[in-house]
Structure 1
Amino acid sequence: MEKPEVVDVKEEADFQLVDENKVDWKGRRALKFKYGGMCASVLILAMIGFENLGTFSLAVNSVPYFSGIMHYSIPDAANMLTNYMGTGYILAIPVAVLADTWIGRYRSVLISGVFEFVGLALLTAQAHYPSLKPPLCNIYDITAHCKTPSGGQEALLFIGLYLLAFGTAGVKAALPSHGADQFDEKDPREERRMSTFFNTLLLAICFGGAVSLTFIVWIQINKGWDWGFGIGTIAIFLGIVIFAAGLPLYRFRVGQGTNAFNEIIQVYVAAIRNRNLPLPEDPTELYEIEQDKEAAEEIEFLPHRDTLRFLDRAAIQIKHGVQSEKPSSPWKLCRVTQVENAKIVLGMIPIFCCTIIMTLCLAQLQTFSIQQGYTMDTTFTKHFHIPPASLPIIPVSFLIIIVPIYDFIFVPVMRKITGIPTGVTHLQRIGVGLVLSCISMAVASVIEVKRKRVARDNNMLDAVPILMPPLPISTFWLSFQYFIFGIADMFTYVGLLQFFYSEAPKGLKSTSTCFLWSSMALGYFASTIVVKSVNGATKHITSSGGWLAGNNINRNHLNLFYLFLSIVSLINFFIYLLVSMRYKYRSQSPLVPGGNSKK
């Protein structure tokens, strides 16, 4: 007679504290009380804060550097900025794929941080040494003949700039997912902490951005660009050191060697190949490998769902008598779990598309609202004026105040009401943000009407805004639209990060968070198209050649454009309602042996 297996109670209790999908830095199962959690995530938050401190000022204040120091024309300087930012968003996707399938998220962040450090160090050196930049010259003096950068100087500028763009893309791609890896999304307690992490991630970005928009911009303007770039370089170096020091504390997700993108494509190819085969009434007849203890550790298993059934054809087994055909190629026959992952990705795409309009609205607050601020009184105190490049500090300041209130007051109250660990579902959170962005555009339209009324009452409608004294109306009137959009930003963008991370297949966690950056990139591109289209559609009904044409914002019809965006946002929200109501969250219940779903 065999002796019964003796189970150590302490060992069993410790096993319950193991995150089964994560390992420590030595490849051992990660104990929850020893690895990961909020202690490890603090180092990750420090990294994103320092990284944002070092780079955010480039997004708002680099055009003066490109034009005033490097002697590019203002249109060329503006294009250099947009190309730099667009490259940073686009490169996040391939870097995320590398992070998920090859080098891992931790290494991706470190390598990307080094690229950022080197890129900004090159820009610092160029700004400091006269031989690496054109001679000083006033580009606003029409009689001056300012030399443009030489071939070597231009090469150094672009090498530094695009090394920085590549590094920024890598940090965006891998850092949020690596931070979320420090928590077990299947544990309700840790799911709440993960929600706190994503909220605090936004807070860290805001703190870094606030310092960059104020202190770094002031340094660049008053002490020199080399000092501004140099401080940013030091900030990135500190972020890398702090992040790297957390190696013994982090949890690392296992199974990153799978090419998840390849598996998704295989499902579509197999479904097309099997398009003429009849779907079985019983989903248990679809193909799935046997689940055993070892496979459960390394391979993801998902139950079948009755959605997007046309993809189920990828898992149809062709029977020859009693025997089923063994899978000869994954391009002809796919697992049920593989098909379910393809369904999840396809189901997330409509959600992704509905958030593009919100970024389109955000682009207006970063462009036209800044132009509004140039015409208004920027006095903060008797002896202090807000630099126009620092106007984005308004929504950032609001977010710094709002995020803790949301996480420590709103979420606990809603958790008691709804029973959901995060207070509200991810899709509900995104929806609230979309509604608020619509309201923000409506408020922006009302504020613009008030600003133009002040200009008309003071006979300043025909004055060139950049040459005239400021209107007797405070720039803080813009804070209303910024405040509402700041709350929308917190709800939608953080909600999107959580939604994409929690729903994505294990092999696409980093790539899924890049959906947010892709949405923002498409929103910015869409802004250019919409502005040109609106001008083209209204050029015959306005004297200025369109609602937004010309350099005189006082003669434009920006209020009508804001109202138009508010209506478009409202329509987009109703579409989102239909899409989100049809979406089914991924199931966390495992398959029973043999590939059958639990009923």
Structure 2
Amino acid sequence: MAAMEDSEAPCLLIGGQAALVGFSDFRGRPVDHDTSGGWRSALFVVAVEICSSFAFYGVPSNLITYLTGPLGHSNAAAVNAWSATGHMMPLLGAFIADSWLGRYRSIVLACTLYVMGYGMITLASTLLVHGPSSPLQVAFFYASLYLIAIAQGAEKPCGLAFAADQFDPDNPKERASRSSLFNWWYFSMAVGISVAIAVVSYVQENVGCGIGFGVLCAIMLCASAVFLVGTPTYRMYAPTPGTRRRHFALLARSLIALAKSSVLGGKTHHRQEEEEEDDEDAAVKSEDTRGVLRLLPIWAACLAYGLVFAQVTTLFNKQGRTLDRRIFGGLELPPAALQTFGPVSILVFVPVYDRALVPVLRWATGNPSGLTPLQRIGTGMAVSLVAVSVAALVEGRRLETAREHGLVDDTGAAVPMSWVWLVPQYAMVGLADVFAVVGMQEFFYDQMPSELRSLGLALCLSVLGIGGFISSALISLIDGVTGNNGGDSWFADNLNRAHLDYFYWLLAGVSAAELALYFCLASSYVYNNHKSLK
């Protein structure tokens, strides 16, 4: 692995073809189009994504049920920060990968940590089932959870960036394939999530959590082997030595200067004029750095989407547990299995979008990708607004049904209302993902300097992470306020006395306000890379 991503690729001919500048193989040797990269190499990385998505989403699919069961936490406490941490850790992972470790080695490290984390959580859940939980056992359980989150931090931003690196943006055919990769990458992730939710949640509910987590450990062990098999075919990005660190230095200096300017205002104006010629001012005016800073308002305007996304594995799950989930006579669906409808809608819509809608949109807009990334993100945010509004209406209907049948205080009885009522909100969140999340991935990857593209994808993931943190904080705040003086909280453990519908309407209002802000920002944004995004 030595010199994999830090060696500079020489310019020469390989088999009559020009070597790719800035890339090498795993031994630091030059590579060309025919002998490396492309779909052949990207598919090895896609296989890892399917497995890691299967494993990672196999944990939160039923985590809230596990926390409120064996660990005895309340609903508000069960809406935990773990999933949000998993989406935030890629910022740290991307920094380490882009400044030091490199994308390939970061993925290898992530696979190792995944196997360790899932092995630990298998042991922890097995011990907790066979006796009362001690503080040490609970601490071990949470340590395993957060080790998995750290592994995701190393893998998520680097996996997609490394797969996209296998396509040459200066080659028209490979550039088109790279654009398609973002769609099919999310499709692959949805495959892993769908199977995880359907299979792992069933195993955990009916066989045991220990076995369910053990399956995840075995899956990631196989994924690690698959990724290593593809090593001889990979294109390893090889930036000029020191370039990565210089970019991070530019970013740091620019952010510091921006903060000083915002805080001190006019007091720093004359001082800045005096420093116009030194290196710090030159860093502030760097084109790449200013381009990165221009992404931050767009990123902030997307946070409401992450706030809605956070409800899928938490409050949507709790709604499903109260409904009639019978199918085919007496068979009852696990509540977490309802989450499958989100990934299933992704599986259905991605091929339709990539093969049917994109050609039509390409003809209508003249854009090779059909929609620009920013148009795609805005569409997804609008769909998520509709999804959370539908969730509010459905929850209002569920509460009314519970009152009509005298079940307000009968927490053990299922409300006589079919689980099918929840399908639209799950499906629309999945549809929103195809637009918003895939659009954010393509946008933040393309608009970042090539040395910082892992960081760009981490920014995309952090939208979901910070959205989760905001959700947890908001729920805790509202829970404390509405449950004051002995009243029923919006998030009462007895959901028939709670008011999740009020919370969903609040989210709809926030989403509408931020969508308006987003449209203002997106309409004035000028892309850095006109060749692929015009």
TM tier, smaller: 0.7 to 0.9
Which amino acid counterpart does residue 280 of structure 2 have in structure 1?
A: W
Which amino acid counterpart does residue 490 of structure 1 have in structure 2?
A: V
SS at match of 1:421: coil
SS at match of 2:59: helix
Q: Which of 155, 160, 174 is the matching residue for 1:190? A: 174
The equivalent of 1:575 in structure 2 is 517
Q: 1:291-302 alignment to 2 at 5 Å?
A: none
The equivalent of 2:6 in structure 1 is none
1:346 aligns with 2:293: yes
Q: Which of 103, 107, 127 is the matching residue for 1:109? A: 107
The equivalent of 1:322 in structure 2 is none
Q: 1:92-491 alignment to 2 at 5 Å?
A: 92-127=90-125, 133=127, 136-137=130-131, 146=132, 148-149=133-134, 151=136, 153=137, 156-255=140-239, 257=242, 258-259=244-245, 260-267=247-254, 275-276=269-270, 316-317=276-277, 330-331=279-280, 333-334=282-283, 339-460=286-407, 462-465=408-411, 467-468=412-413, 470-491=414-435
* Larger gyration radius, structure 1 or structure 2: 1
SS at match of 1:584: coil
In 2, the alpha carbon distance for the partners of 1:78 and 1:537 equals 15
- Would the alpha carbon gap of residues 20 and 419 (structure 1) be closer, same or farther in structure 2, given more than 3 Å must change? farther
Higher relative CO (CA 8 A, sep ≥ 6), structure 1 or 2? Answer: 2
> RMSD of aligned C-alpha atoms?
3.1
Alignment TM-score, normalising by the size of structure 1: 0.77
Which amino acid counterpart does residue 479 of structure 1 have in structure 2?
A: V
Q: Are the aligned partners of 1:67 and 1:74 in contact in 2 as well (CA < 8 Å)?
A: yes
Q: Are the aligned partners of 1:269 and 1:331 in contact in 2 as well (CA < 8 Å)?
A: no
Please report how far the alpha carbon of residue 409 of structure 1 lies from its aligned counterpart in structure 2 after TM superposition. Answer: 1.1
SS at match of 1:82: coil
In 2, the alpha carbon distance for the partners of 1:439 and 1:59 equals 24
In 2, the alpha carbon distance for the partners of 1:452 and 1:270 equals 52
Which amino acid counterpart does residue 33 of structure 2 have in structure 1?
A: K
Q: Are the aligned partners of 2:86 and 2:465 in contact in 1 as well (CA < 8 Å)?
A: no
In 2, the alpha carbon distance for the partners of 1:476 and 1:433 equals 23
Please report how far the alpha carbon of residue 490 of structure 1 lies from its aligned counterpart in structure 2 after TM superposition. Answer: 1.2
Which amino acid counterpart does residue 293 of structure 2 have in structure 1?
A: L
SS at match of 2:153: helix
Deviations 1:61-94 (A, max 9, x none): 23555676xx533249956x83433443333222
SS at match of 2:270: coil
Which amino acid counterpart does residue 372 of structure 2 have in structure 1?
A: T
1:518 aligns with 2:462: yes
Which amino acid counterpart does residue 103 of structure 2 have in structure 1?
A: R
SS at match of 1:59: coil
Q: Are the aligned partners of 1:544 and 1:550 in contact in 2 as well (CA < 8 Å)?
A: no
Q: Are the aligned partners of 1:134 and 1:150 in contact in 2 as well (CA < 8 Å)?
A: no
Deviations 1:132-178 (A, max 9, x none): x36834xxxxxxxx4x3374x45654543333222122111311111
Q: 1:506-585 alignment to 2 at 5 Å?
A: 506-534=450-478, 544-545=487-488, 548-585=490-527
Which amino acid counterpart does residue 427 of structure 2 have in structure 1?
A: F
Question: What runs of 5+ residues in structure 2 fail to find an aligned partner?
Answer: 1-12, 262-267
- Would the alpha carbon gap of residues 154 and 27 (structure 1) be closer, same or farther in structure 2, given more than 3 Å must change? same
Please report how far the alpha carbon of residue 378 of structure 1 lies from its aligned counterpart in structure 2 after TM superposition. Answer: 0.8
SS at match of 1:30: coil
In 2, the alpha carbon distance for the partners of 1:368 and 1:401 equals 25
Please report how far the alpha carbon of residue 267 of structure 1 lies from its aligned counterpart in structure 2 after TM superposition. Answer: 4.1
Alignment TM-score, normalising by the size of structure 2: 0.86
The equivalent of 1:53 in structure 2 is 54
- Would the alpha carbon gap of residues 214 and 580 (structure 1) be closer, same or farther in structure 2, given more than 3 Å must change? same
- Would the alpha carbon gap of residues 439 and 224 (structure 1) be closer, same or farther in structure 2, given more than 3 Å must change? closer
Deviations 1:318-346 (A, max 9, x none): xxxxxxxxx7xx3354496xx11121111
Higher helix share: 2
Question: What runs of 5+ residues in structure 1 fail to find an aligned partner?
Answer: 1-9, 138-145, 280-312, 318-326, 590-599
- Would the alpha carbon gap of residues 127 and 181 (structure 1) be closer, same or farther in structure 2, given more than 3 Å must change? same
SS at match of 1:74: coil
- Would the alpha carbon gap of residues 45 and 527 (structure 1) be closer, same or farther in structure 2, given more than 3 Å must change? same
- Would the alpha carbon gap of residues 560 and 343 (structure 1) be closer, same or farther in structure 2, given more than 3 Å must change? same
In 2, the alpha carbon distance for the partners of 1:433 and 1:384 equals 35
Q: Are the aligned partners of 1:188 and 1:421 in contact in 2 as well (CA < 8 Å)?
A: no
SS at match of 2:122: helix
- Would the alpha carbon gap of residues 575 and 92 (structure 1) be closer, same or farther in structure 2, given more than 3 Å must change? same
Report how many residues are paired: 509
